[in-house]
Structures are given as structure tokens and as C-alpha cells.
Structure 1
């Protein structure tokens, strides 16, 4: 691992410059602007016992900003900590809200790129929900590559047209291209981002009619809203529209479209390979100057955001109020470990049944079903993602649980 060293003050307010190569463009210096120490190196590996969860390995999050391309990375990330095995549980398709989004996205991609009776490859397919949906709706054939894939988890009439490789994507799968390549919520887990995107480009070769679609969290929103719950060890790479577009252009693609979706939380890019370098700039790309301002806004306000939530949880405990967290995934882990308030929460629930009875890494809290709130009777439910508030409110009302619902 490249151990960074401080070399000088940065021109970015509230940061310091370190000698560390940018994994996206190779620039030799980054400006560190945010640090969280001793956090779990994984958020979605479900532990079978409380002690294993408490003893889970920890690492540091130290975010560095590249002044050349705008990419943001955890300079303390160690890829040796990555373990995306079948016990990695990140499936989101138990939520009607998420399923509606996925259906609309799949339908739009099928219509836009005429994905009918085509070969589709998904890099980082998780349990295969989206890949199978693309094959269902477009009568396509699919190949998913992901070490956490579980064959048969998703039941579908298209299942016999979808195959899985339980492995990390690499050069050895360069011949598995297809007509459409998608990669959703995987690039942010990859430290050497340029290496992955260029591997995809090399695999395409001269098949210039191949379409590539990537989806990742939008770092622009994280910066402007100080959304610290979206910063955690597993996510070692953070993109805004501009930095993502620059990476794809520098890797042999032309950016056809660049946009936000899912409450402006997700950043999407549609690109196609080109024979000569593209200079086409998409209107959605922010300037480096704007990105610098957003980073400075984050550094100026993050302390107040953290203090607010710490004080809130402490006050609820001192008043004898019962607080439950809805959502046991990465946002929950970041929320409680960043604040150092894991002992102030006694109840964490999740809609995903494959998480129930398991324990959260680094926190040790047992994950329970939403129905457990009937007995717990919380005074407040803190929702880890505001986009689910309406869905959760409806579930609580059906269960006869009257409580205050608030989002981070």
C-alpha cells in the first residue's frame, strides 16, 4: 500500500496536500479534506455472531481530492481487506421503491439501446436482480460476473438465459463482451478505477457499436449535503459527473449521456468506445472550480452536521426515548461509527430477510425485521435513506406502529 506523507499545505481551504498518485488520472498529489479513523473495512458482510461483528477488522477513511481531474479517493484504502463473497448481502430488491426505480431504468435502457434478443454482460451483478430484469423485459441473454453472486437467489422465467461467474472482473474475461455492458454500484468499490475502465475498453476492441452503462453514487450530493453516511471504507472511489466523464474520455470512450436519478443520489453514464480520443464535453459536467467550492463547503460544514446528530442521539437517550434505525447496510454503519454513537441505538431493522438474525460489522447490533418494531414501540425511527420514508411510513401504519419518522 502506498503510505502517503504530508508535503505541503494545499490551496484548498481546510486541506493538506500529500504525495499520492491519483488512481483515476495519475496526478502525483492529492488534497486530503476528510478523515474518519477506525471504521469497519466492510459494511455488508453479515456476521453470524455478535462477537465476530464486534471484532471485525477496521481501517481508516482519509479522503483525498485530485486537483487535476476532480476524483476523490480513500488514500488509506487497502484492497487486501476486500472480501465480496456470497455472505456479502447488499440486495435491495425487497423494497417496492427500489424495484420501481430498477424497472423504469431497465425499461428505458432496453428501449434506448434496442436491447432485444441481445447479449448483456453485467460487471458486479451482485445477486443478479438487474441483469435478470434486463433479460426478462428484453428477452436477452445475460452473463453476470461477481464474487458475491448466488445462483438461484432470484427466481425468474429468464433464469435459464442468465449465467454467473463467481469471480472479480479482470482481463481474463475480456472475451465476454456482448452487445451491452453494464456496471452498477461497483466502480466505487474499485481502488484502481482507471485500470478497470480501461480493461473494459480493451475487451471491447474494435466492436465500436457496444454500449457501456455505469451507475455509481454521486459525490456531488455528498459534498453539498455533507452526507457523511455515504462515506465508508468499502467505497474507496468517489465521482462527480465531471470526474467520471473525464475518466471515461481518458479511457477511450465518448460520453453520450450523463445524468442523476433516484432522488439525485445515483450518477449514470452512458458511453461508447471510440477509435480516436473524444473531446466532447457533456453539459452535466461541473468545472473543477465548482468542485473545489463544493469540497470547501463540505469541510466548512461537516463538523456542524456531525455535532447535530451526535447531540440528537445523546438527548434522545437522556430523555429515555426509544430510537430505531431503519436500514442496516453501509449508511447505518457509517452513521453510527462516524459519530461514535453505536451504543446509543438499541434497535436496527431491515427489510431484507437475508439480514435478519445477523450482526452488523463493527457495531455488533443484531439486525431485526421491521415487525419487531411492534414490540419495541420506538419514539423515533431514523431512516438511513430519505427516499424510502413514504414506503416505511406506510409499513409502520400497517403494523400499527405510531412513531416519528425522520431521515438523516
Structure 2
């Protein structure tokens, strides 16, 4: 697999020669943790060239605005200070400030303060770096971490570092969001398995991690078309605090899904290979919509059949004219489809089918739109 999915690549040759790493998913039958046992953190190259944001999607903007408002209200964060570890381009922290947070501190090696909205600039601080190396103390009323924990190994050690950085401030809200591995395994969703994602969690394994590393779980729930797992917690001074909820009893179900994943993976791969060949044999063209991690993983899994995909489309203007890591596919702006006229557009995330269909109709591009 390409070791990074969201690093911007300026030319096709560099994209094709992009560094690769080995992935061997492993399931722990004791706690339900799923991880890449061959992951090498030496490959990490997170920087300002990392372009992970989904913030150009109106659907995603609505989701993060709603979640930010929920967290601010539920955890009484109006007028308070929030630190976000792995803040990306700062969209979520921006929404928390708009919802009433007095001061937001975002920590991420890929943050671009110049892209932060003017209306929150005076109430935000941006640290272009890593926790804990560049920002060691979490002195805040809430610690937020979204879609970062799955990039961390060894993950328990890192969570203990988070707990230590909070110290004796046991009223701090600890709010995390990450992908749900049970859905990935159940669906054979090979496009959601990337080298960067070295740690995968279900409801049960995530709660067990939090309790073992010094946190009391306040609540867990699914969001964003049941793709994301959200956990709310508080620091605790008791070992393994709290009583497991019924929803956490998923060890057998995740184990069964893990057993079936290879077969489900093969079935899904064969289905999409056949679909792409069908279009090509009929003289048509296929493109994928979404050049992020799902797109990179999809093309990597296709291997020698990746040429059946003409290009990748993305609404993020910072990606236009760049190339996909691993496969070398060029990233197009949606308006370029008016010339390409693809016969098949594959949405890399079914959550965005409505948005993509609207964009295609606006462009007057008549095509077949299907989702992974």
C-alpha cells in the first residue's frame, strides 16, 4: 500500500513511485483490537502538504457544525477552552468556536492558519506540530481528537500520554471520533483499509482502550451514515473505571466479521473489477469521485486493473492537477468532466451520492453514478 493517501503529489512519476509499506491486519481475540502488525511509523510524513480535509462538502460541513454544537451544549463549553489534537485544517474547531467556545487551540502538522475563517481568527491558536512533542500540556476544558487515533501506534501508550497531559483536571471532557471497524469488516470495505490507519476500533475495543488508559466512558454512539464511532469520556483516578454497557459486548461479532473479511474483500474486488471491465469493453470511460484515502485504497487494491479508471475527481481545489499516490491518476476538478464525459462515476463514499448527483446535473454530465 502507499504509505500515505493524502500527501499532495505534483507529477505522475513521483506518484507511481510513491513509498509503499506492507499491511497485515491482525485481530486480537482478547480485546477486539484490529491493527496492522507490520506498520512502521518511520514512514510517517505528515506535513503541510497533507490534504485530508472533507470540508469542501456542504454535507460534511453540516455534520461537523451539528456535532460541534452538540458537544458545546452537552459538555457546557460555552466560554471555555478546547484543544483539538489532529485538527487537520481546523474546520471542526472553527465550528466549536462559532458554537460558543471562547478559545480553541488546534494541533496538527498539516494545519494552514491562512485558511482559517476570519470570524474565528481572534479566538483560535494553531500549532503546526504534534502532540505531545510540540504541545505537551492539555490544560483545557475539553480535549477533542477526530480521525487521528487510527493513525497512532502504539496506541495505548499514546492514550496514556493524553491522560498524563490532562493531569488532575478530571472534569475535562474527552471527545473522540474515528471509523468503525465492524462496518469495514462486515462490508468487506477494502477502500477503508489504508497503511496510515494502523489501529482499528469497534465500540467495545474503543471503550476497553479508554478504561485501561485512565478514562471513564460517558457515552458512545454512531454518526455520519453509521460510518463513524464517537466516544465521550472523562479522566478518572480509578483503574479501569465504570461498568461496560451492553453495546460494548461486540467481541464475538467483530471476531466473526474479521474471519469473513478476506472472503468479503475478494467478493467486492471481483464485483468492481467486473463492473469496470464491462464499461471498458463497451468503449466507455470510468472515473472515481473522491481522491482521498478511500480512492487511493480502491486504486491500490485494483492493482493491474487500475488503468480501467480514467481519473479521479475531487471538489477540493487544492488537489486539482495533482496525482494520486501509488497509481498516478490525475485529479480533476468536477468541471473537467464536461469534456471527459465518463460513462461511469464511482462515488468513493455513499454518503456523498446526493451531492455528487447534484454536481453532475449542474454540469449537465449525463452518466451512471454508483457508490462503493
Same fold (TM over 0.5): yes
The answer on whether the counterparts of 1:257 and 1:282 sit within 8 Å (CA) in structure 2 is no
Q: Does 1:314 align with 2:277?
A: yes
Q: What does residue range 341-380 of structure 1 map to in structure 2 within 5 Å?
A: 341-380=305-344
The answer on whether the counterparts of 2:291 and 2:313 sit within 8 Å (CA) in structure 1 is yes
How far apart are residue 347 of structure 1 and its match? 2.0
1:396 maps to which of 346, 356, 360: 360
Q: Residue 237 of structure 2 aligns with which residue?
A: 275
How far apart are residue 296 of structure 1 and its match? 1.8
* Greater Cα offset, 278-287 or 227-236: 278-287
How far apart are residue 257 of structure 1 and its match? 0.5
Q: What does residue range 8-27 of structure 1 map to in structure 2 within 5 Å?
A: none
Residue by residue over 1:54-93, the C-alpha shift from the partner in whole angstroms, topping out at 9 and shown as x without a partner, is 1111111110111111111111111011111000001111
- Residues of 1 paired with 2:357 and 2:50: CA distance? 28
- What TM-score does the superposition give when structure 2 sets the normalisation length? 0.97
Partner of 1:43, secondary structure, is coil
Q: How many residues align?
A: 370
Partner of 2:298, secondary structure, is helix
Q: Residue 26 of structure 2 aligns with which residue?
A: 64
Partner of 1:381, secondary structure, is strand
Q: What does residue range 241-280 of structure 1 map to in structure 2 within 5 Å?
A: 241-277=203-239, 278-280=241-243
The answer on whether the counterparts of 1:85 and 1:147 sit within 8 Å (CA) in structure 2 is yes
The structure that is helix-richer by fraction is: 2
Q: Residue 303 of structure 1 aligns with which residue?
A: 266
* Greater Cα offset, 308-317 or 359-368: 308-317
The answer on whether the counterparts of 1:374 and 1:400 sit within 8 Å (CA) in structure 2 is yes
The structure that is strand-richer by fraction is: 1
2:124 maps to which of 162, 168, 171: 162
* Greater Cα offset, 273-282 or 384-393: 273-282
Runs of 4+ residues over 4 Å off in structure 1: none
How far apart are residue 183 of structure 1 and its match? 0.2
Partner of 2:358, secondary structure, is helix
Partner of 2:248, secondary structure, is coil
- Residues of 2 paired with 1:144 and 1:282: CA distance? 32
- Residues of 2 paired with 1:59 and 1:139: CA distance? 40
The answer on whether the counterparts of 1:213 and 1:268 sit within 8 Å (CA) in structure 2 is yes
Relative to structure 1, the CA distance from residue 365 to residue 249 in structure 2 (aligned partners, 3 Å threshold; closer, same or farther) is: same
- What TM-score does the superposition give when structure 1 sets the normalisation length? 0.89
**Bigger relative CO (Cα 8 Å, ≥ 6 apart):** 2
How far apart are residue 172 of structure 1 and its match? 6.1
Relative to structure 1, the CA distance from residue 171 to residue 55 in structure 2 (aligned partners, 3 Å threshold; closer, same or farther) is: closer
The answer on whether the counterparts of 1:254 and 1:280 sit within 8 Å (CA) in structure 2 is no
2:10 maps to which of 48, 59, 67: 48
Q: What does residue range 106-125 of structure 1 map to in structure 2 within 5 Å?
A: 106-125=68-87
Partner of 2:118, secondary structure, is coil
Residue by residue over 1:288-329, the C-alpha shift from the partner in whole angstroms, topping out at 9 and shown as x without a partner, is 222211212323322212111112212221221111110001
Listed as ranges, the gaps of 5+ residues in structure 2 are: none
Q: Residue 108 of structure 2 aligns with which residue?
A: 146
Q: Does 1:338 align with 2:305?
A: no
